[in-house]
Structure 1
């Protein structure tokens, strides 16, 4: 199973990128990160619509899509691991996580998503969300490999 992360914005070199790369290397599934960016100085609904177009264009047709959204389902790490295990067992070739821009998702992104996932009700910088997501993907792989999970 391939895991793709498609995110709005470019991550610059720094500690967040270093940690993301570390977790991606540790994860047994192949993980790729695709960044999309609207460079024109547009705002509001127009920007959200353009970012939605970019995100939707980057999603493979056969992908199972999980959009990160504050209104999504909040879950513990073992539950997240179970979802990835179920998708893998079902023969899913590609699981794609989508991270929107600062203003949220434009038309069509949530409709394309098979699941909405929340990292809580607090607001997180989008670059930190990428880091937290890669860590949780890695953590899911360790849980599924039978490593002790200290929170149970």
Structure 2
């Protein structure tokens, strides 16, 4: 299986970088993982909705070239919530359906554009809470690793 994490914004904190490296290493036994880091747009304080939409559209235009030929899962606070076992079932069912190329899309601090959300095959929410997009990358990698452990009946997930 090929998994891309398409993420807007750079990781600045070393502890997050170290965690990401750890899960990249762990996931290498289960999938081919690629992290595609895209530039984010600067957003001024108290931006108008029009300015916010412009930022989202610019970031979306950077994401769009990576979508074709992949099953695209957008991380969206309004998406479907799942526990870890249901998430593992979702990945397992995609593999059983012959889908071997998956993108997970993490937007910048403002989220994802409507256009990217419309082009996504599935919207996934981790919580009603808002997480920093840098930390979300680490959380997502850990959950993908947990899913593979569940799928393969290996200990870890409890």
So what's the TM-score if we normalise by structure 1?
0.91
- Equivalents in 2 of 1:70, 1:131: separation in Å? 17
Pair 1:126 & 2:128 matched: no
- Equivalents in 1 of 2:3, 2:157: separation in Å? 25
Task: Say whether the 8 Å CA contact 2:81–2:127 is kept in structure 1.
Answer: yes
SS at match of 2:112: coil
Pair 1:94 & 2:101 matched: yes
Find the partner of 2:36 among 34, 37, 43.
34
- Equivalents in 2 of 1:109, 1:39: separation in Å? 16
SS at match of 1:66: strand
- Equivalents in 2 of 1:71, 1:102: separation in Å? 15
Q: Aligned pair in 2 of structure 1 residues 150, 12: CA closer, same or farther (>3 Å)?
A: closer
Query: Any gaps of 5 or more consecutive residues in structure 1?
Result: none
Note the aligned Cα RMSD (angstroms). 1.7
Query: Any gaps of 5 or more consecutive residues in structure 2?
Result: 45-50
Moved over 6 A (4+): none
Q: CA deviation at 1:57?
A: 1.7
Aligned residues: 150
SS at match of 2:110: coil
SS at match of 1:48: helix
